[in-house]
Structure 1
């Protein structure tokens, strides 16, 4: 039941990657754990066959990004898909000022999703309505921005560095060697922030770019985005979409950061039968038998209740 970490390239949708993975791995049962927009690259985690049962638990994982945020130009999509529909002069800015703003945005927030998003309102996808020229009022949703670090302020996207490497804590830094990233074509030369972000599930970095611009009194858009981590999986573990057919994948036991119960055969059988065996622990657990997944189960201090079981 492998999990594959792919490095999604530019100009493919997450669905495109899933379709290619189905062909490469000769199975229809492939799911991903968090959409990346076509103009974003980086970590897209694929769960295959029985591992698709993990997706519901992994969607809530935190994620890390490198984000290029261009100031003084807004777009309907909030990213480099364009076109530019609003412009404004950008005041002189300093790194200390920008970092202070980023610090003020960390923590729990209410964030309005982009109009061009897959959120459904009344059975209609927001992006479908936007493409038809309609506006849907999307309610703000709670998100958490754990860390936002300014890596640099540049005169334009073309002036920004493209090569980065993670430090010991998994925070990516500008580097002379490491990973070199491709960005979508720039919509113009606008002052651009390079930001490393660690965010909770459901966060739209496009909305973050918009909100940073709004806080500075100017329109803004996301001119580049690389996801460097999703949950427990990092870009360093990723394989290209083209190499999926020959990849071995990663053990699905690595997917969830939960305390583990090494079950006896009897406990595993009872959980698979949907019973609620006695258990004194409280919280959510990963239950295994001889190195294989048995269940994700919740303990209330007296019994275990199966949330999802594996045969």
Structure 2
């Protein structure tokens, strides 16, 4: 996506794109850099892993154990648990993940190995897709299954028409109040720490992006003798969106308590379940090397800029070749199938942001 890798070669080490016909897509040209933001309930493993890869002495990966690995995380482990298990299996600490996923959720976790850990902050995608099950008629303090039910309500009036109307309203939502049981910080402390002490906290709403909410299914059942309704929804949302808060808000819109009873991440940025391998397979040495993706085609979500040898050398020497291409926050500069650097294009010049 973004810059095409065909027809975009540089003409010299000092002039990149002087006679280029290629251009940035609107998506690539409009994308701005975002620093990793905590998600879930513990410290942000993305930043910790990135720091470990950049600062600590690390073992080199086993030959062939370098690239991008898309893991289908089961319910139970944290995202950092995934990294820890893979570090032990591959014999290297040079591994980091590209975005947290709560222990009670399953699905896509993108992992970088070896030199590809340099891409972690660029692949911490803004967009995520989920399949969620929201249970109406019963709520918990954390709005998921982590805590015991504390509120119950009648679901007799819930039907597909009312659910669709509520989803239509929530789809236009531009702000969201994070749940108290979350890693959002207030007064120098994470909210879940305050929640564990029973503190009542006024949590400010935050900007969110909702691309689409789609009703998948609606079913009634009994839970401990009480009638509940399970609502299955596909969510296409931006970074920092809390699906547990969505469950809370859906229940409020329908006039009954609710909580998130199941969550599966189907996509993280451009990587989906079709790309993923189960965690047990990824860490089992008897299965051979894991399904690592390498080279420019493995790196999705960054526009690509194809260089000639002179331009690639100029970047590696710290020079800033000129270009006629428009300003872009981040692009992947390549020389054939070789990774050169992540660059930014500003004022007609290329600048290395992260080299390989």
Shared fold per TM-score greater than 0.5: yes
Partner residue of 1:249 out of 279, 287, 292: 292
- Retained in 2: the 8 A contact 1:68–1:157? no
Q: Does 1:307 align with 2:350?
A: no
Counterpart in 2 of 1:17? 82
Residue 29 to residue 120, structure 1, CA distance change in 2 (3 Å)? farther
2:277–2:291 CA contact under 8 A, matched in 1: no
Hey, what's the Cα distance between the residues in 1 that align with 2:206 and 2:143? Answer: 17
What is the match of residue 298 of structure 1?
A: 344
Q: Distance between the aligned counterparts of 1:157 and 1:239, measured in 2? A: 35
SS of 1:104 mapped into structure 2: helix
CA shift for structure 1 position 290: 2.5
CA contact (8 A) 1:62 1:199 kept: yes
- Correspondence for 1:210 among 216, 237, 248: 248
Kept in 2: contact 1:232–1:255 (CA 8 A): no
- Give the whole-Å Cα distance in 1 for the aligned partners of 2:147 and 2:316: 51
Report the CA distance shift for 1:216/1:188 in structure 2 as closer, same or farther (over 3 A).
Answer: same
Find out whether 1:234 has 2:280 as its counterpart. Answer: no
TM-aligned CA distance change 1:156 to 1:51, over 3 Å: farther
Query: Which residue of structure 2 lines up, in the alignment, with residue 268 of structure 1?
Result: 312
- Gaps of at least 5 residues in structure 2 are 1-65
Cα distance, 1:5–1:29 mapped onto 2, change above 3 Å: same
Q: Which runs of 4+ in 1 moved over 4 A?
A: 186-189
Q: Is the 8 A contact 1:57 1:256 kept in 2?
A: no
Q: Distance in 2 between matches of 1:45 and 1:292?
A: 21
> Residues 132 and 54 from structure 1, CA distance in 2 versus in 1: closer, same or farther, beyond 3 angstroms?
same
State the Cα distance separating 1:43 from its structure 2 match.
0.7
**Taking structure 2 as the reference length, what is the TM-score of the superposition?**
0.74
Query: Per the alignment, do residues 135 and 217 of structure 1 end up closer, same or farther by CA in structure 2, a change over 3 Å counting?
Result: same
1:167 is matched with: none
Offset from partner CA, 1:239-269 (integer Å, 9 cap, x none): 1212214313112633332331111222223
Determine the structure 2 residue equivalent to 1:84.
149
Deviation string 1:203-242 (CA, Å, 9 cap, x unpaired) is 1111111111111222211000011111111112211212
**Aligned counterpart for 2:119 among listed residues 51, 54, 58:** 54
Secondary structure (helix, strand or coil) at the match of 2:209 reads strand
Given that residues 177 and 203 in structure 2 are in contact (C-alpha distance below 8 angstroms), is that contact kept between their aligned partners in structure 1?
A: yes
Compute the displacement of 1:54 (Å).
1.5
Aligned to 1:276, the other structure's residue is in SS state: coil
Q: CA offsets per residue over residues 137-162 of structure 1, 9 Å max, x none?
A: 3322211111111111111388xxxx
1:31 CA drift (Å): 1.4
RMSD between aligned residues: 2.2
Q: Does 1:109 align with 2:174?
A: yes
Counterparts of 2:169 and 2:115, CA distance in 1: 42
Q: CA deviation at 1:189?
A: 5.4
**What TM-score does the superposition give when structure 1 sets the normalisation length?**
0.84
Q: 1:274 to 1:256 in 2, by over 3 A?
A: farther
Q: Assess if the C-alpha contact under 8 Å between 1:268 and 1:294 holds in 2.
A: yes
Q: How far apart are the structure 2 equivalents of 1:303 and 1:109?
A: 36
Does the CA-based 8 Å contact 2:158-2:254 persist in structure 1?
no
